[in-house]
Structure 1
Amino acid sequence: MNIAVRVSGLHVSFGARHVLREVDFCVPAAGITVLAGRSGSGKTTLLRSLNRLNETFPGCRTTGRVELDLGRGLEPVYGGSGVRPRPLNEIRRLVGMVFQTPDVLPVSVARNIALPLKVVAGAPATEIEERVRRALTDVGLWEEVADRLDLPAERLSGGQQQRLCLARALALEPAVLLLDEPTASLDVRAAADIEELLLRLAGRYPLIVVSHSPEQAVRLAARIVVLSRGRVRRVLEKGSADAAALAGLLGEDE
């Protein structure tokens, strides 16, 4: 199995509060890996460990080893002995992240993608228009917004905003995509559209998705990593558990 992410002995604490303890797991280079667990089990903290976003929170301490394939084989993000990790801005460009609530910038639809391309990726002006179009096409949004690219992004529907956030991440040409409950704030129809999009993208990128829904986890995942009280309790491969069995496993943590 080709591996996109390998985590070994990961421990994350915030002050005196230990959130993750001795976490070990791998993410295949293809398909969707879902992080499942009850509220407080450490799912989001684990996700943020992969792009070092936890470091933006006060009192965070991380030990252990995290390796990602960012285009030249597995390399350390944390814990690399004798190997200097890439700069943080490069890591966060190559490890794209989409949050639970759409976090569109207070600018137009087009500038939501063009600004990060210019500021983060340093893309030349001659490329930006085409990369904006390509990213919007990738998420099925181009035909819906092509004639209103100057519209403030906040005026899009919730589902459109979430697809715009995903397009913004894709435009930066990531190696890995992280999604933290990407459908939790959407209605049923918009959530189904996002799920369909993620399944399409899984053929091109390794996706790591936090989900609170056993039904969604089973629909999407090639692999489910079940967390309990900051530890990996079980790793389930596709077809090894249905939604009811997964819900029962999560319920045992009560």
Structure 2
Amino acid sequence: MSEKSASLYRMATDEHTCPFGLKSLDLLEREGYAVEDHKLTSREETDAFKRQYHVSTTPQAFIGGERIGGYDALRKYFGKPPVSSEAVTYQPVIAVFGTAALMAIAANWSAHGALLTVQAAEWFISFSMCILAILKLRDLESFSNMFLGYDLLAQRVMRYAYVYPFAEALAGILMIAGALKWIAIPVALFIGGIGAISVHKAVYIDRRDLKCACVGGDSNVPLGFVSLTENLMMVAMAVWMMFK
């Protein structure tokens, strides 16, 4: 046995493998522990373990004979920050714009044999619009609930909250193709302009603390600069296409 050893009890049945058990195992191994991995392969075995150690959940990790607890407790034991689904984060935004930028560069490289051109910048905005629209459309009800909290037009015409993601997707797709500009330009100007005004009023005038619906209704991204940027990008792209 290694000097650093731990025991882990985690649920791993034919029907369910506990993700937090796997995360606990990975964390222990990354911290240099030799892990005695005890798989609880049935509901009966899991319930018996809980009764024996007077715990209500699995996994449970033991180090030096001392029970540390589940995945969150294990992270705390190793001095790592807690993982919370409720925490404010910009990770979805970084993922969207980072992926869109790489897609634009890749498409531009394939089409023009160059990494950065004006076309790449156009595609970056268009791809970003499409990705953001997909995130909204995957749960339209949740998006509309959050969107109605601050969008000025949606608060007056409720159905606009359901139309917005489709309009954003349509404008983005047409901008990628460079086609039907007579549709893409007014749609982008309209939804981008209303959106920018709404966000500016909610955040910078009314000083409201809201979550941004830009990456979907389950977002923990704070309303503010990101959503304002999304809308201003649409407006800028529309103006650019007008005079291009």
Which is bigger in relative contact order (C-alpha 8 A, separation at least 6)?
1
Structure label with greater radius of gyration = 2
In terms of fraction of residues, the more helix-rich structure is 2
> TM-score, normalised to structure 2's length?
0.24
In terms of fraction of residues, the more strand-rich structure is 1
> TM-score, normalised to structure 1's length?
0.23
